[in-house]
Amino acid sequence: MAKRYQYPSIASSEITPEAVYLNRRQLMSAAGLGLSALALGGTNPARANAPDTRRELAAAAGPEAFQTDEKLTPYGDVSGYNNFYEFGTDKSDPARNAHTMTTDPWSVEVGGLVNKPGKLYLEDILGSFDLEERTYRLRCVEAWSMVIPWVGFPLADLLQRFEPGSDAKFVEFRTLYRPDEMSGTRSLTSIIDWPYREGLRLDEAMHPLTLLAVGLYGKTLPNQNGAPLRLVVPWKYGFKSIKSIVSINLVDRQPATSWQTLAPREYGFYSNVNPEVDHPRWSQRYERRLPSTLFSPNRIATRMFNGYEAQVAELYQGMDLRKYY
Ligand SMILES: Nc1nc2c(c(=O)[nH]1)N[C@H]1C(S)=C(S)[C@@H](COP(=O)(O)O)O[C@H]1N2
Ligand SMILES: [Mo]
């Protein structure tokens, strides 16, 4: 079958991750910082060298504002150590079982408090982004952490097309629910009330670091990582990054999320990465950076907002982050 979309042309199998990154940087500067025709607002991106306010970040809106130089997590760990309960609870279950999910055709329905509700096919979404220039190297953290070169684009660029209404305050996301293709949804009926659900405040959803990822390491997303389209919110714990999204709804009230519904005392709506606020059953001061083994655990200190404090702290000014965990 012909390639459906134009993903970055440098295959990770051909070169080292570092070379991928350096190459990408050169590509981006060659292409004027790599903003596609969909860049927000027509601001000159070249001026956003060291953006330090949200407005400037929004103007830049490209990967270059957020890149980390930390070593990338090998592809095998990124695609072999997953949480995707639709396919089982063990970290190795999704890689083994997620191949049963069909992702073509795929559409996303956007509705609720928007002026132009509608359904978009994946091809139409992707056809409008120049993914060649859209690799974001980001940290993702849970009890373990990884650095992943995501291919994607800001969720805001998609939401704006549907014209969020002035009464919209939150965004609710849902994952595909297709029991005959998802073994975990048949066996884990008492853990999660399917479909898997997540939510963000509208301003969090519109932040340029909130991404819809469609690939990693220059390839389409492996099913176990949430193909064909998943959220990436790198300053929040991993479970906020909902996979295989089929519906996005703008609402006026804080939506219920799967983990919060399951254990409200343990999982809050915000779930911002915060080493000062422990999970009731474990400390959140440290994370295991993969690859990690029993003998070489690779334990590192967890950073406030996973190190994206400069970019996102403004969203939570004046909020008690112990209360709103
Ligand atoms: N639909 C769905 N999305 C999901 C999950 C899930 O079980 N189902 N697990 C979440 C959790 S707990 C984590 S840690 C991340 C893991 O993402 P990764 O496997 O790409 O690292 O996916 C999140 N998104
Ligand atoms: Mo998780």
CATH number at 144 reads 3.90.420.10
- Report the alpha-carbon distance of residue 305 to residue 127 in Å, rounded: 32
Q: State the burial class of residue 166 (Cβ atoms within 10 Å of its Cβ: 0-12, 13-18, 19+).
A: exposed
Specify the higher pLDDT residue, 154 or 22: 154
Atom of ligand 1 nearest to the CA of 243: 3
Any domain includes 284: yes
| Residue 49 pLDDT | 36
209 C-alpha to center of ligand 1: Å?
18
- Is 185 close to ligand 1, i.e. is its CB under 6 Å away? no
- Report the alpha-carbon distance of residue 149 to residue 41 in Å, rounded: 26
Ligand nearest to the CA of 98: 1
- Number of folded domains in the chain? 1
Atom of ligand 1 nearest to the CA of 142: 14
Ligand nearest to the CA of 89: 1
Tokens of 166: 């002035």
- Is 86 close to ligand 1, i.e. is its CB under 6 Å away? yes
Tens digit of each residue's pLDDT (9 = 90 or more) over 184-213: 999 998 889 999 999 999 999 999 999 999
| Residue 60 pLDDT | 53
| Residue 130 pLDDT | 85
Residue with tokens 């027509």: 42
Any domain includes 233: yes
Any domain includes 143: yes
Any domain includes 193: yes
Is residue 137 predicted with pLDDT exceeding 60?
Answer: yes
For residue 143, give the nearest of 294, 307, 300, 305 by alpha carbon: 300
289 C-alpha to center of ligand 2: Å?
14
The whole domain housing 206 covers 3-316
Where is average pLDDT lowest: 62-66, 196-200, 270-274? 62-66
Ligand 1 pocket mutation, candidates 243, 248, 259, 279, criterion most atoms within 8 A of CB: 243
Tens digit of each residue's pLDDT (9 = 90 or more) over 3-59: 456 677 544 443 334 434 334 444 333 333 333 323 333 333 333 333 344 555 554
Query: Among positive and negative, which fits the CA dihedral 140, 146, 147, 150?
Result: negative
Any domain includes 321: no
Query: Among positive and negative, which fits the CA dihedral 53, 54, 60, 66?
Result: positive
Any domain includes 325: no
- Report the alpha-carbon distance of residue 184 to residue 181 in Å, rounded: 9
**β-strand partners of 74:** none
Any domain includes 160: yes
Any domain includes 100: yes
Share of the chain above pLDDT 70, in %: 82
User: Backbone dihedral region of 2: left (phi > 0), alpha (psi from -120 to 50 degrees) or beta?
Assistant: beta
- Is 83 close to ligand 1, i.e. is its CB under 6 Å away? yes
Residue with tokens 């063990």: 90
Residue type, 286: Y
Q: Are 172 and 204 in contact (CB under 8 A)?
A: no
Task: List the beta strands (DSSP E) in the chain.
Answer: 107-112, 118-121, 135-141, 144-154, 170-175, 197-201, 211-216, 219-220, 230-232, 245-251, 286-289, 299-301
61 pLDDT tier (thresholds 50, 70, 90): low
Tens digit of each residue's pLDDT (9 = 90 or more) over 78-118: 999 999 999 999 999 999 999 999 999 999 999 999 999 99
Task: Tell me what the pLDDT averaged over the chain comes to.
Answer: 86
